[in-house]
């Protein structure tokens, strides 16, 4: 691991940028906005009923995809920040553990490991 050259300040800048973009994505793609779209296309009754159903299904599918994306973003932020702190503290095994837990959290959406074992503050 001595070949690594982690610069905490640069990592922090990137994580801050990712967090800002993640928050922007979350605000742009809220459930309320999806509901408004569905309501907006249901005006035609029988005429647009099938369109409304199809768009509703697409929105349901995309909501699942957005959840996966947000899980990956959150896991990446937690994993990278905790692994960097552990690495800088000379805790190389812990840095590796945080990387492993990051992958698990991205796939499952379960962030409990970081709640229980992550660095606070």
Kindly report, residue by residue over 39-55, the tens digit of the pLDDT: 777 676 777 778 777 87
pLDDT the model gives residue 84 = 92
Mean pLDDT, rounded, of the chain? 85
* pLDDT(85) > 70: yes
Does 4 or 117 have the greater pLDDT score?
117
What is the tens place of the pLDDT at every residue in 58-84?
878 888 888 899 999 999 999 999 999
d(CA 80, CA 16) in angstroms, rounded, equals: 12
* Burial zone of 106 (CB within 10 Å; 0-12 exposed, 13-18 middle, 19+ buried): buried
d(CA 85, CA 119) in angstroms, rounded, equals: 8
pLDDT the model gives residue 106 = 95
């Amino acid at each position: 691991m001595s070949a690594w050259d982690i610069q905490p300040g640069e990592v922090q800048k990137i994580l801050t940028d990712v967090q800002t973009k993640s928050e922007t994505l979350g605000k742009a793609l809220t459930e309320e906005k999806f509901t408004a779209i569905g309501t907006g296309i249901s005006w035609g009754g029988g005429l647009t009923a099938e369109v409304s159903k199809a768009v509703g299904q697409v929105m349901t599918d995309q909501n699942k995809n957005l959840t996966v994306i947000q899980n990956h973003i959150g896991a990446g932020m937690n994993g990278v920040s905790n692994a960097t702190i552990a690495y800088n503290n000379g805790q190389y095994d812990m840095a590796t553990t945080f990387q492993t837990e990051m992958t698990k959290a991205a796939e499952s959406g379960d962030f409990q490991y970081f709640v229980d074992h992550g660095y606070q503050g």
